[in-house]
Amino acid sequence: MHIPDGLMDPMVSAIGWIEFMVVIAVALLISGKKFKEKDLPRIAVLSAGIFVAQMLNFPIGGGTTGHLVGAALFAIMAGPVIAMVGMTVILVIQALMFGDGGITAFGLNATNMAIIAPLTGWGVYTLVKPFLAGLKTETKHGKMNLGTAIAIGVGAWASVFVSASACAAEMAVSYAISGGAYGIAATVSIPAMLGYHVIIAIGEAMITVAVAAYVLSVSPNAFRSISEKNVAVPGLKGIMSSKIAHATVAVLIVFALALPLYFMYSSEGADGLEKTMEDAGVDEGDAVLTSPFEYGETYFAALFAGILGFVATALVGLGLMNIFKIGRAAE
């Protein structure tokens, strides 16, 4: 999912940079307050670990392999803020030392993999876990109860799927607003990215759970998010500081990041396509293929936005339900 330079429309890249800078600035502010110099080695080890984990190949079947993103694992083990900073560091190293992922495209890559992925992974995990707390069978995961394992798996799956969707959206928008000079058409990018990553996400989910189970059984202290108990504190302060509330905010942030793209796409749309191309004085090349669907790109985009909106709403709803549960339990 590492996008190289020159693929995305410069406008989209710029938006990616702005989104990334805003969120990471906040994350850095928070981490500056929470973490001391002596915590840095452990964060660096985690980042290095995820980096190396990204080098692992896991089999999908039929001889093909996939790679981990690791953002959900990071966020579940160390919390969303550290994960965002850590994933950013990983991406910088990959771009500047291995040429994996571009510089102008860094904003988008970071938004997808260092912000959307960890926030989604952690957010979904946190929101889903309380509902599965009842499932406590002894499983092959040893000390981890089944409910937690499922929550981790679902969170990891979502992190890959949502960030891949974001990437697909960025490609589609780039294509639309540049008249084909940049990006990949929605009719290709969305099914291709989503189709491929739906499967990859399953591998990610399973490996994330396995790693989490292993680390938990070997050294539970490495896990700050899992072993912490959700203590019910009454009142607004309790609600504000509860992890559920934070998780809900996380999901909302992810959704908010998608909005600029959606607005760009829907406003430029088909009219924008013509206009941009006129300005560029470029002739529309003879397309080898035309989309089989009448409404082509707009259909996919609408469907896509709809799904995203529904899922986000569902999760926020879950979050609100939990918050009220906490509030009531404290009374």
Within residues 102-131, the interface with another protein by CB under 8 A covers 102-105
**According to CB under 8 A, which one of 33, 218, 236, 292 is a site residue for another protein?**
218
Measured from the CB of residue 45, what is the shortest distance to another protein in angstroms? 4
**According to CB under 8 A, which one of 194, 222, 252, 320 is a site residue for another protein?**
222
CA atoms within 13 A on the CB side of 271: 4
Count CB neighbours of 285 within 10 A.
7
Q: Are 129 and 99 in contact (CB under 8 A)?
A: no
Site for another protein in 195-214 (CB under 8 A): 199, 202-203, 206-214
Q: Does 38 bind another protein (CB under 8 A)?
A: yes
- Cα–Cα distance, 246 to 241 (Å, whole number): 7
Measured from the CB of residue 3, what is the shortest distance to another protein in angstroms? 7
Sequence-ordered list of residues with C-beta below 8 angstroms from that of 252, at least 6 positions apart, any chain:
312, 316
Q: Are 101 and 109 in contact (CB under 8 A)?
A: yes
**According to CB under 8 A, which one of 21, 22, 45, 231 is a site residue for another protein?**
45
Q: Is residue 41 classed as helix, strand or coil in its secondary structure?
A: helix
Torsions phi, psi for 4 (to 5 deg): -80, 170
Span of 46-54, 144-152, 312-320, 323-331 interacting with another protein by CB under 8 A: 46-54
Of 283 and 331, which CB lies nearer to another protein in the complex structure? 283
Q: Does 322 bind another protein (CB under 8 A)?
A: no
DSSP bridge pairs for 58: 66
Site for another protein in 14-33 (CB under 8 A): 28, 31-32
Q: Does 44 bind another protein (CB under 8 A)?
A: yes
Q: Does 317 bind another protein (CB under 8 A)?
A: no
Site for another protein in 233-272 (CB under 8 A): none
- Cα–Cα distance, 128 to 114 (Å, whole number): 21
Q: Does 185 bind another protein (CB under 8 A)?
A: yes
Span of 42-50, 158-166, 223-231, 251-259 interacting with another protein by CB under 8 A: 42-50
* CA torsion through residues 190, 74, 54, 24, sign: positive
